[in-house]
């Protein structure tokens, strides 16, 4: 058991250094992106990058050190996210009540899967969390560097085909690079699992954007510096975590 823990401990630290390498690569990408921007836009971009770095580190080590308490963090994320949905509805003057009701039901459904995900083995939690984070990050970077063709201009104007493809390719490759975190998959089943994880992350972001557009806002709030609220930061993880939670439940 001690030897197994030592091997796992080494794996966790090795993967963490890999993630730091990703952040270094991302910082280089943002440097080239921000050279073309005004000082105000560049500053906002770096604030977002730094905030994201802090969030990734907090969640990574929370899962590693206190995985039994990760469901508590998930509940907090869920409650704040639900609060953001309700707040926009109230602030709109109770507009679109049927849409709001459907949104809350969908959120509750996704949260149930997300909560199941939070109770999985901590290495699987990390695996999905890192895949989603890599997809989110490199979709933005590759989209801003090479993305030209917009895919959802009326819902999420910043999403481009180049960005999604770039983020998906890097996330898929990373899924194989970090496969030791989740070993119980064949090559074909890993491709399927990673593909659905990436698609779910993308879908979660799109659903969040649809809700904001319905109520005529760009952001839920400014609780997290550089980000448009808790759901803006965690919508992809909630959806991908829900997919993982349901997949593991049905596979057991």
**Residue 223 pLDDT grade (very low, low, confident, very high; cuts 50, 70, 90):** confident
**Residue 215 pLDDT grade (very low, low, confident, very high; cuts 50, 70, 90):** very high
pLDDT of residue 153: 86
Partners of residue 160 on adjacent β-strands:
150
pLDDT of residue 227: 77
DSSP conformational letter for 148: -
**Residue 224 pLDDT grade (very low, low, confident, very high; cuts 50, 70, 90):** confident
Q: Kindly tell me the burial class for residue 107, based on how many C-beta atoms sit within 10 Å of its own C-beta (0-12, 13-18, 19 or more).
A: buried
Q: How far apart are CA 149 and CA 66, in angstroms?
A: 42
**Residue 75 pLDDT grade (very low, low, confident, very high; cuts 50, 70, 90):** very high
Q: 47-51: list long-range contacts, CB under 8 Å, 24+ apart.
A: 47/225, 47/226, 48/225, 48/226, 48/227, 49/226, 50/226, 51/224, 51/225, 51/226, 51/227
CB 62 within 8 A of CB 76: no
pTM: 0.93
How confident is the model over 150-198, as pLDDT tens digits?
A: 998 888 888 999 999 999 999 999 999 999 999 989 999 999 999 999 9
Copy the structure tokens of residue 153. 């201009």
**Residue 222 pLDDT grade (very low, low, confident, very high; cuts 50, 70, 90):** confident
CB 139 within 8 A of CB 167: yes
Q: Of 112, 1, 133, 110, which is closest to residue 63 (Cα–Cα)?
A: 133
- Tally of CB atoms within 10 A around 65: 10
CB 246 within 8 A of CB 215: no
Say which residues have a Cβ less than 8 Å from residue 106's Cβ, sequence separation at least 6: 207
DSSP conformational letter for 94: S
């Amino acid at each position: 058991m001690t030897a197994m823990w030592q091997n796992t401990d080494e794996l966790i630290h090795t993967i963490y250094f890999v993630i730091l390498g990703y952040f270094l690569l991302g910082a280089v990408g943002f440097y080239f992106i921000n050279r073309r921007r005004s000082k105000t836009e560049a500053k906002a971009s770096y604030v977002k990058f730094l905030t994201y770095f802090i969030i990734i580190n907090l969640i990574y080590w929370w899962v590693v050190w206190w995985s039994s308490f990760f469901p508590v963090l998930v509940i907090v994320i869920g409650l704040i996210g639900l609060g953001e949905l309700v707040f926009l509805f109230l602030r709109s003057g109770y507009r679109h009540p049927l849409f709001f009701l459907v949104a809350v039901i969908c959120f509750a459904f996704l949260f149930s899967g997300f909560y199941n995900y939070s109770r999985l083995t901590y290495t699987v939690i990390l695996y999905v969390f890192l895949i989603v984070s890599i997809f989110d990050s490199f979709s933005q970077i590759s989209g801003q560097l090479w993305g030209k063709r917009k895919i959802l201009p009326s819902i999420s104007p910043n999403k481009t085909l180049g960005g999604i493809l770039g983020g998906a390719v890097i996330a898929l490759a990373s899924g194989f690079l970090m496969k030791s975190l989740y070993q119980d998959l064949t090559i074909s089943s890993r491709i399927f699992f990673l593909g659905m994880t990436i698609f779910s992350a993308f879908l979660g972001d799109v659903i969040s954007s649809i809700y904001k557009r319905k109520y005529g806002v760009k952001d839920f709030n400014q609780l997290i510096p550089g980000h448009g609220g808790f759901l803006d930061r965690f919508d992809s993880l909630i959806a991908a975590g829900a997919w993982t939670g349901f997949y593991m439940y049905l596979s057991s």
